[in-house]
A and B are shown apart, each in its own frame.
Chain A
Amino acid sequence: MIDTLRLTAEEAAGLLERGEVSGKDLARAYTEAIEARDDEVHAYLRVTGESGEGVPIALKDCITTKGVETTAGSRILEGYVPVFDSTVAARCKEAGLPLLGKTNMDEFAMGSSTENSAFGPSRNPWDPERVPGGSSGGSAAAVAAGLAPWALGSDTGGSIKQPAALCGVVGLRPTYGTVSRYGIVAFASSLDQVGPITKTIRDNALLYRLIGGRDPCDSTTVELSEPVAIPDAEDLKGVRIGIPKELNETEGIAPGVSEVVQASIRLAEELGAEVGETRLPRSVEYGLSCYYLIAPAEASSNLARYDGVRYGHRAEVDGDLTALYERTRWEGFGAEPKRRIMLGTYALSAGYYEAYYGQAQKVRTVIKDEFAAAFEDFDVLVSPTSPTVAFKIGEKAENPLAMYLSDVLTIPPNMAGLPGLSIPCGLSEGLPVGLQLIGPQFSENLLFRVGHALERVLGFDYVPERLR
């Protein structure tokens, strides 16, 4: 009997390698778990249930899969069956990882709860009345509920780190440029990155190793500066950990979340890390505003392609081509993409460009420089991943600005193109709390090392209490 709630991807690979379990039996264990639990969790938009030689994987629905419907959580792409594979899907295929299914997400990755999915929200496996976070909430919920051994998500403002935190699993947003965006449904191209969501740090490193590296189809990718090391460190001797004051004390961080994060920082100190305080004064105060100008501006351009001509939804109209575009787009997009398209269009329009988009790009330089200064004294920076634990479904759905604040701690490092790892570090109110580890560009190996050493001493049980 395979316990999918407990089994890590690394353990699953071991079972396959030693011939103790067949690929078919392994995939069946997951499809049975999906049948048993996904009516409640709704992690998947569609289940393919393939089996093969490797450890099966779930992919977020913005990851293009040849022959398998890919909607990015939007009605405008309902029924779209891609004729090509994204590079990450192709790399999973080449490594023999069969596709379990496509996971739910906020429409076009715009959201922090999956409530913006056109196909209904996913639910948090720790408490089904609560959101799993977003936008990669389906992938995080699938891993937490034992409905996939591992999964891929995508992260623009925090869409891997925040749902990983809220579901009690590990999520890596890699350095910008290390994972190909070819075939990823685009939201904001200077920020979008694909990354792994897993139960353990070692699983995360194994999956990152498989998807990372330069891709000729995406000229913004680079070769990894060093091979991915699967971590086994037990101490943190010689690691300098900085606590950026603003990223740990900004308004809105729940006291329960702070307590758990501070306790894990003390553990890091016991493991030999040198801990000190640092500052990111303007990155936190201006990061959210900067992001909500740059990301919508890029989105307004990227989402111009949905025109009802070549693929996706087309409205019935009597008028001319412009009328077709306008009605198709109003009908096909949900409220949040429309809001962001209009916001971005406004920020880029004549007369406002300099004050909004141009100014935001300069703020981005300020953020980059502040992080660079902090990394002169520290190797890794830490903070809570999300200011709160998982919130109730519906709690923020009607208030976009309140929802945007869910990413206030993940956005600043993203603006600087930095990698971030969220690891579960304890419970508050019976719900998981995530610790965000931020490193300089291309420091994934160090993040894995620190994460792994902490994971061992934290002893966090990733199986949701109600499912044990």
Chain B
Amino acid sequence: MAITREDVLHVAKLARLEIPEAEIDGVRDQLGAILEAVGKVGELDLSDVEPTSHPLDLVNVWGEDEPRPSLPREEALKNAPDPADGAFRVPAVGQ
């Protein structure tokens, strides 16, 4: 199943990546080659097999609901590219 330019643009949009026009074809070819290789998993009939999402059989690890000190505001903002008024400043949402 060949991957198209439209697929690349769709995936880039979902992944929030601003892909430049000049790179779309190159990315399409690379992703296409990798998908063709990994598509090998489809050769197996595994309709009766349960999926594994985690290597250990752990269920419900509970912890006490105890308040603990959290990061002070000024610490949390230390690495912010644009802190303002004790918060993270961002451009307008949707223009």
Contact = CB atoms under 8 A, between A and B. Distances in A.
Interface of A: 79-81, 83-84, 176-177, 190-191, 216, 219-220, 222, 282, 285-286, 288-290, 292-293, 300, 304, 307-314, 317, 319-327, 329-330, 333, 338-339, 341-343, 345-346, 349, 355-356, 358-366, 368, 400-401, 415-417, 441
Interface of B: 3, 7-8, 10-12, 14-20, 27, 30-31, 33-35, 37-44, 46, 49-56, 58, 61, 63, 71, 75-76, 78-82, 88, 90-95
Given A341-B15, A359-B42, 11 more contacts: A219-B63, A285-B40, A289-B37, A321-B90, A321-B93, A322-B16, A339-B34, A342-B17, A349-B14, A363-B46, A366-B46
A430 B50 CA distance: 46
B76 to A, nearest CB: 7
A282 B41 CA distance: 10
Nearest to B82: A314
Nearest to B72: A83
Contacts of A339: 27, 30-31, 34
B17 A329 contact: yes
B2 to A, nearest CB: 13
Q: Which of A84, A317, A361 has the most CB of B within 10 A?
A: A361
Contacts of B7: 346
Contact of A346 (B31, B51, B90): B31
A329 B18 contact: yes
Nearest to A293: B38
Closest 8 CB pairs of A and B: A417-B55, A361-B51, A311-B79, A326-B18, A314-B81, A362-B46, A320-B95, A364-B52
A439 to B, nearest CB: 14
Contacts of B43: 286
Main secondary structure of the interface of A (DSSP, over half): helix
A290 B56 contact: no
A326 B17 contact: yes
Contacts of A359: 41-42, 44, 46
23 contacts: A176-B56, A220-B61, A222-B56, A222-B58, A282-B44, A286-B41, A286-B43, A289-B41, A309-B81, A310-B79, A311-B81, A321-B90, A321-B93, A326-B17, A330-B17, A333-B17, A349-B11, A356-B38, A359-B42, A365-B52, A366-B49, A368-B52, A400-B30
A267 B69 CA distance: 55
A368 B55 contact: yes
Contacts of A417: 55-56
B14 A220 contact: no
A300 B49 contact: no
Contact of A83 (B18, B30, B61, B71): B71
Given A219-B61, A346-B31, A325 B16 contact: yes
A320 B50 contact: no
B77 to A, nearest CB: 9
Nearest to A357: B51
A314 B83 CA distance: 12
Contact of B34 (A282, A285, A400): A400
Contact of A326 (B16, B38, B41, B75): B16
Nearest to B19: A330
A251 to B, nearest CB: 14
Contact of B15 (A79, A342, A400): A342
A286 B37 CA distance: 10
Contacts of B55: 176-177, 190-191, 368, 415-417, 441
